[in-house]
């Protein structure tokens, strides 16, 4: 079967097999990683290796901290203003979908939010033209969502910003190479392209740390986590370990250049299947079509349940669109093999032939 879930999402089969082998007795130590103290030498080695592998994969400069935290990407919506306002009272946000919107709502609890551009009135189908953005040079930072998981809208550029750039990479981190040095902070919930749920990865430039809003709880202060190697308290140890296995798997695949190549090919095949048929549709502007999350509609919406049922029976799992938008959505993260996309494309053609 192929799992097209948006998250928690497919993990590479090789990673799951390795975890299975190591599950009861990690490297002959007589216990599972799940049962190890996070302070033990064995676990610290696992954690440090995972961080190093992520640094290698993403070419993360040495003046950035990599944090393995809990609370999901949603907790970052609050931690970002609490940590990055640094005495300022306003922050810039671009609104390209439901996740940007949630980040905006949370930031409003801490500061004045300047929405520099929004595609809401258009139903979130494209990234607003940069020429129309109303940026504030006094903003503490500019936040945007490079890939909107629900609407399938992806930025085709990294904004040029005079203030620190902050980005929610939850659904597109590790999909292709990225110039981390352009950002003040990148964050990503793990449960899509990194590993299991229960972990959020934050990559933050060191000079931004240490000036939290007064009253910030200890656990929401990046500097506390940075100073303690993400072990101020007990981290999500097993999710961190499994993410480390995914990083090693990505290295073995040839790294992010190679993943980018494969991901572009997978997405191109799926969009070609949608565009090549009267039966399927995708409303997103061509340059902003997501490489990871591909929503599509059927010309006969009354057939959606039948489509999902038959797809499921054919081993094509979790193709329902997000409950807020309906329709279909295929999430084709790194762990979804190209053969999975081929199988989906063949199924779609067959379904259209029979019901179109």
Annotated binding-site members: 39, 73-74, 99, 149, 168, 191, 233-234
Out of 99, 240, 249, 266, which one is annotated catalytic? 99
Pure H helices in 117-254: 222-227, 237-253
Minimum gap (Å) between residue 21 Cβ and ligand PLP: 28
Minimum gap (Å) between residue 167 Cβ and ligand PLP: 10
Is residue 331 close enough to count as binding ligand PLP by CB under 6 A? Answer: no
Shortest-Cβ-distance residue relative to ligand PLP: 72
Is residue 189 close enough to count as binding ligand PLP by CB under 6 A? Answer: yes
Is residue 149 close enough to count as binding ligand PLP by CB under 6 A? Answer: yes
Minimum gap (Å) between residue 74 Cβ and ligand PLP: 3
Going from the C-alpha of 32 to that of each of 62, 88, 283, 341, the distances in angstroms are 32, 46, 47, 35
Q: Are 249 and 194 in contact (CB under 8 A)?
A: no
Q: How many CB atoms lie within 10 A of CB 246?
A: 25
Report the helix count and the strand count for the chain, using DSSP H and E: 9, 14
Out of 92, 192, 240, 266, which one is annotated catalytic? 192
Out of 168, 240, 249, 266, which one is annotated catalytic? 168
Residue 133 designated active-site? no
Q: Are 156 and 127 in contact (CB under 8 A)?
A: yes
Going from the C-alpha of 105 to that of each of 74, 183, 246, the distances in angstroms are 11, 22, 33
Print the binding letters for residues 25-64 with ligand PLP: x by CB under 6 A, - otherwise.
Answer: ----------------------------------------
Distance (Å, whole) CA 120 – CA 166: 20
Q: Closer to ligand PLP at the Cβ: 7 or 81?
A: 7
Site for ligand PLP in 292-321 (CB under 6 A): none
Is residue 168 close enough to count as binding ligand PLP by CB under 6 A? Answer: yes
Q: Closer to ligand PLP at the Cβ: 171 or 318?
A: 171
Which residues lie across from 147 on neighbouring strands? 154
Residue 240 designated active-site? no
Minimum gap (Å) between residue 292 Cβ and ligand PLP: 10
Is residue 72 close enough to count as binding ligand PLP by CB under 6 A? Answer: yes
Q: Which residues of 46-73 are buried (b: 16+ CB within 10 A; e: fewer)?
A: bbeebbebbbebbebeeebbbbbbebbb
- Which residues, at least 6 apart from 146, have a Cβ–Cβ distance to it below 8 Å? 154, 155, 158, 167, 168, 169, 172
Minimum gap (Å) between residue 289 Cβ and ligand PLP: 16
Residue 99 designated active-site? yes
Among 95, 154, 161, 171, contact with ligand PLP (rule: CB under 6 A):
171
Q: Closer to ligand PLP at the Cβ: 77 or 241?
A: 77
Minimum gap (Å) between residue 6 Cβ and ligand PLP: 6
Going from the C-alpha of 343 to that of each of 14, 273, 311, 319, 330, the distances in angstroms are 20, 12, 10, 13, 12
Residue 269 is encoded by which pair of tokens?
Answer: 């095949």
Q: What is the DSSP letter of 252?
A: H
Stretch that binds ligand PLP, among 114-122, 164-172, 250-258, 281-289 (CB under 6 A): 164-172
Stretch that binds ligand PLP, among 31-39, 68-76, 125-133, 225-233 (CB under 6 A): 68-76
Q: Are 246 and 11 in contact (CB under 8 A)?
A: yes
Q: What is the DSSP letter of 173?
A: T
Distance (Å, whole) CA 54 – CA 262: 19
Catalytic positions, please? 99, 168, 192
Binding stretches for ligand PLP (CB under 6 A): 7, 72-74, 99, 145, 149, 168, 170-171, 189
């Amino acid at each position: 079967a192929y799992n097209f879930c948006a998250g928690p999402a497919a993990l590479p089969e090789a990673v799951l097999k390795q975890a299975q082998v190591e599950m009861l007795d990690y490297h002959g130590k007589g216990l599972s990683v799940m049962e190890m103290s996070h302070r033990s030498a064995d676990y610290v080695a696992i954690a440090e290796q995972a961080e190093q592998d992520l640094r290698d994969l993403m070419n993360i400069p040495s003046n950035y901290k990599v944090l393995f935290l809990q609370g999901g990407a949603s907790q970052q919506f609050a931690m970002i203003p609490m940590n990055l306002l640094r005495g300022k009272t306003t922050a810039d946000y671009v609104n390209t979908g439901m996740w940007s919107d949630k980040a905006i709502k949370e930031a409003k609890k801490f500061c004045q939010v300047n929405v520099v551009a929004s595609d809401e009135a258009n139903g979130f189908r494209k990234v607003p033209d940069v020429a129309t953005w109303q940026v504030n040079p006094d903003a503490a930072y500019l936040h945007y969502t490079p890939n909107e998981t629900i609407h399938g809208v992806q930025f085709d550029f990294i904004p040029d910003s005079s203030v620190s750039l902050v980005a929610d990479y939850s659904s597109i981190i590790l999909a292709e190479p990225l110039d981390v040095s352009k950002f003040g902070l990148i964050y990503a919930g793990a449960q899509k392209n990194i590993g299991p749920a229960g972990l959020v990865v934050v990559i933050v430039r060191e000079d931004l740390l240490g000036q939290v809003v007064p009253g910030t709880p200890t656990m929401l202060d990046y500097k506390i986590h940075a100073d303690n190697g993400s072990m101020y308290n007990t981290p999500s140890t097993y999710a961190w370990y499994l993410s480390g296995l995914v990083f090693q798997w990505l290295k073995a695949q040839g790294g992010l250049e190679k993943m980018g190549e494969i991901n572009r090919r997978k997405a191109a095949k799926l969009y070609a299947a949608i565009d090549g048929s009267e039966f399927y549709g995708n409303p997103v502007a061509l340059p902003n079509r997501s490489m990871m999350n591909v929503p599509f509609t059927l010309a006969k919406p009354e057939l959606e349940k039948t489509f999902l049922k038959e797809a499921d029976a054919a081993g094509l799992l979790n193709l329902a669109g997000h409950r807020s938008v309906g329709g279909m959505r295929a999430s084709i993260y790194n762990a979804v093999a190209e053969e999975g996309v081929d199988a989906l494309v063949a199924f779609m053609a067959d379904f259209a032939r029979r019901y179109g």
